Amino acid sequence: MAITLKPVDVAVVGLGAAGGVAVLPLCRAGLKVAGIEAGTWMDPHKDFKADEIHNNTRGLITTGNKIRREAPTIRNSPTGPSRRGGPSPMMNAIGGTSIHYHAQSWRLKPWDFKTVSETTKRYGRSYIPQGSTVEDWPISYDDLEPYYDIAEIEVGVSGKAGNIKGKLDKEGNIFEGPRQREYPMPHLRTCDYLEMMKKAARSLGWNPFHSPAAINSVPYNGHGACGYHGYCDRGGCHLQAKNSTCFSTIPKAQATKNLTIFDRAQVTRIVADANGKVMGVSYIFNDLEYFQPAKAVLVGSYTYENVRLLLLSKSKAFPNGLGNNKGQVGKHYFGHWDAQAGASASALFPMDLNIWYGAILSQGVVIDEWADDSFDHSGLGFIGGASMTVNTEKHPIAAAGGSTWGQVPRNWGSDWKRWIHQNAGRSASAYIQTNTFPYETTFLDLDPEAKDPLGDPVIRVTTMTRENERKAAMHAQDKAVEWFQAAGAVMTTKGNPNGPNLSTHTYGGTRMGDNPDTSVVDKWGFAHEAPNLGMLGGSVFGTSGARNPTLTIQALAWRTAEHLAKNWKSIAG
Amino acid sequence: MSITRRTVLALVPVAAIRCAAQNPNQPRALTPAQRRTTEMLVDRIIPADELGPGALECGAANYIDIQMADYLAPQREAWVAGLAALDAFALETQGSAFADLSAEKRDAVLMRLTDNGGPQTLQGFFNTARTYTLQGTFGDPHYGGNIGGKGWDIIRYPGPRPATSADMQKMDHEAEPYRRSAWGNE
């Protein structure tokens, strides 16, 4: 028998990158909010260490025990068997994945929101990838711009604008959509390696710029600036200079006194009445079941868990899962084609790069010439492309164990030791992120066999390789190699982008759209079939862009929460 | 290959390091014989030479011994089986248990394995051994390996400072080696 708690206005499921932002506009509007999070607070002094074994080898920040047991399965055909899918970036903590992410904080391009109409206009309908279910988003870049702006300020993003109200600045990204103003902080520190790569890019006629990052380049939000110590990847920030929501928006929401955090509370079902109205959420805390009544529910628990929660929440009104009467929950899923899909390029240089220290992709330089629709695709046989980031931060175990480029016969012994003594600090990679689209045969559903410890099925990912994305990634790899060669690399190598593993960037499953036959939520993020249920996170995306998703997730979360507060009576009344 | 200032710093007497590695209160997983085979194995993966200490002197075997009683405990059985298989293969190809062979003969055993000879399971064991040796040589000293951070000298890693200056990221900058554990001085 569940313990029923005092009703609140809004229950927010998950206090990570998305829910951790949404609580702030809700609380500021005076709504009483329950933030229900499966994890708990992490301690920057005790938990966040400059320790490769802790963060990277063992992944102790990225994956708690709970998540290991809830990790999705994967299969590479719509009829084949599934297998456990390996490491997942989902984590349980206040701050969620924003604790350990690389913090590159991008706005998507205007093209990403209108891929179908823009592609059709420029190249013709035949350029839309075959089998893809991609459609234009129901909103434009301009609709989201004010929310990008507020997310950059409230979360805290450093960077250099390349387009302020149409005025281009070559120090920033000239391919970005128009912004209303400069970033709240200047871009992170440069270094010799990044300057060398900028010079090489300019020699090719390209326009290099520094990564936008949710990391303080100067003191901001009550926290100090980045220490560039080189343990940002898969680690939390000991200086609280990485603007995870646990250091930025969640404390601000707490200051309103309208947020109650229920930590170590695992939401298992969203409860709806016979008319399809959402009544609250059920969660498990300390082996006991609780029911938190709420007038509206926002779900921000990572793409897999968002979909799983809806599919598990069956009721009279929703026999196939909440908001799934048209069978759209889980459809239009796609994982980003990045290094995890095999897209990469690496180089060996003849000198010490001294990139041990740094802040992973956030202390990086980016090329956007070969992403999105920045270049003419006529006759290329694909749409989209990829952004390419070169960056700092090398860890000693990985550096010692890396490729020897065929230069020594064995990867052990004295010859090898001499080689790594000289070369462990001389290689670098480009991080390639490809525009990725949903397809008819890429989707999420409940695994018929694999279950979590509570006995609920885990998510099953169905995905496979894609010709369009493969060509776009290979095109970008060639450009990255050209870039390294222009910088004086003595050897270069390319990846084999053949897709479809689990990515840390996962999209779709509760797609946003105007048409209830092809989407789950409307243009504000609320379910077509359950109007007091909002979805937050990558699960609402219709395209990925060629860049990290988090700032877009946060801008959308703010917009959805603000819409709820402004239309409280009509949505929750 | 020049001997750098850091390399010279790395040339601490081996006996002193071995001593530091033997904390009697730390639980260990291996029998003396298993420990010795482990030591003789990591010793060839990263040998001591003119560049300074190798994996053994850095404490990689100690790392494996301690971690097999801790985080790597689920791997202990496979590790012990791998050591036995290595001994059997050494006996078959070089006429003696692995730990009793000279450095040259131990190299010959491992070369057979890594040049694609010998049983496949033993090749897999070698890859695992190399992975743990890297962890125990280049990982944080907190886990029983990389004693005094000496492994970092092998690859000229400047060390896990809590914060760095812009100068420390210059290409020609040779930072003073920082050799503390992220978990405090040990």
Q: What is the pLDDT of residues A298-322, one digit of tens each?
A: 999 999 999 999 999 999 999 999 9
pLDDT tier for residue B24 given thresholds of 50, 70 and 90:
low
User: Is the Cβ pair A351, B139 closer than 8 Å?
Assistant: no
What does the pLDDT look like over B62-92, one tens digit per residue?
999 999 999 999 999 999 999 999 999 999 9
Q: Which residue has the higher pLDDT, B8 or A508?
A: A508
Please report the pLDDT score of residue A70 as a whole number: 84
Which parts of A399-547 are beta strand (E)?
Answer: 427-434, 443-451, 457-462, 491-494, 506-507, 533-535
A419 vs B: CB within 8 A? no
CB pairs under 8 A between A and B: 138
Please report the pLDDT score of residue A87 as a whole number: 63
Q: For A388-400, b where at least 16 C-beta lie within 10 A, e where not — what string?
A: bbbbbbbbbbebb
pLDDT tier for residue A93 given thresholds of 50, 70 and 90:
very high
pLDDT tier for residue A66 given thresholds of 50, 70 and 90:
low
Residues on chain A touching B134 (C-beta within 8 angstroms): 397, 400-401
Distance of CA A431 to the CA centre of its chain: 14
What does the pLDDT look like over B131-165, one tens digit per residue?
999 999 999 999 999 999 999 999 999 999 999 99
Instruction: Find tokens 């990086």 and name the residue.
Output: A364
Please report the pLDDT score of residue A68 as a whole number: 64
CA A348 – CA A491 distance, rounded (Å): 5
What does the pLDDT look like over A397-456, one tens digit per residue?
999 999 999 999 999 999 999 999 999 999 999 999 999 999 999 999 999 999 998 999
- Count other Cβ atoms within 10 Å, centred on residue A199: 12
Distance of CA B71 to the CA centre of its chain: 17
Please report the pLDDT score of residue A407 as a whole number: 97
Check pLDDT > 70 for residue A522: yes
Q: What is the mean pLDDT of residues A76-82?
A: 89
CA proximity to A234, closest of A400, A359, A397, A391:
A359
A60 vs B: CB within 8 A? no
Please report the pLDDT score of residue B1 as a whole number: 36
Mean pLDDT across chain A: 96
Check pLDDT > 70 for residue A218: yes
Q: Is the ipTM of this complex over 0.85?
A: yes
Please report the pLDDT score of residue B6 as a whole number: 40
Q: What is the mean pLDDT of residues A229-249?
A: 97
User: Is the Cβ pair B46, A417 closer than 8 Å?
Assistant: yes
Please report the pLDDT score of residue B13 as a whole number: 38
Share of chain A above pLDDT 70, in %: 99
A382 Cβ contact list (under 8 Å, min separation 6): A129, A467, A468, A469, A471, A472, A475
User: Is the Cβ pair B140, A231 closer than 8 Å?
Assistant: no
Nearest by CB to B164, from A227, A352, A353: name it.
Answer: A227
Please report the pLDDT score of residue A65 as a whole number: 55
Please report the pLDDT score of residue B23 as a whole number: 64
User: Is the Cβ pair A356, B158 closer than 8 Å?
Assistant: yes
Please report the pLDDT score of residue B174 as a whole number: 84
What does the CA dihedral A26, A28, A31, A37 come to, rounded to 10 degrees? 50
DSSP state of A361: G
A223 vs B: CB within 8 A? no
User: Is the Cβ pair A357, B155 closer than 8 Å?
Assistant: no
Nearest by CB to B170, from A354, A411, A421: name it.
Answer: A354
Residues 103-142 of chain A with CB under 8 A from chain B are none
Q: Which residue has the higher pLDDT, A174 or B14?
A: A174
pLDDT tier for residue A64 given thresholds of 50, 70 and 90:
low
Distance from the B39 Cα atom to the nearest Cα atom in chain A, whole angstroms: 14
CA A484 – CA B92 distance, rounded (Å): 48
User: Is the Cβ pair A421, B45 closer than 8 Å?
Assistant: no
Residues 236-255 of chain A with CB under 8 A from chain B are 238-239
Nearest by CB to B160, from A231, A399, A418: name it.
Answer: A231
Check pLDDT > 90 for residue A341: no
User: Is the Cβ pair B183, A51 closer than 8 Å?
Assistant: yes
User: Is the Cβ pair B169, A357 closer than 8 Å?
Assistant: yes
- Count other Cβ atoms within 10 Å, centred on residue A180: 11
User: Is the Cβ pair A192, B171 closer than 8 Å?
Assistant: yes
Check pLDDT > 70 for residue B5: no
Distance from the A220 Cα atom to the nearest Cα atom in chain B, whole angstroms: 17
CA A460 – CA A340 distance, rounded (Å): 18
Check pLDDT > 70 for residue B4: no
Please report the pLDDT score of residue A61 as a whole number: 87
CA A21 – CA A155 distance, rounded (Å): 8
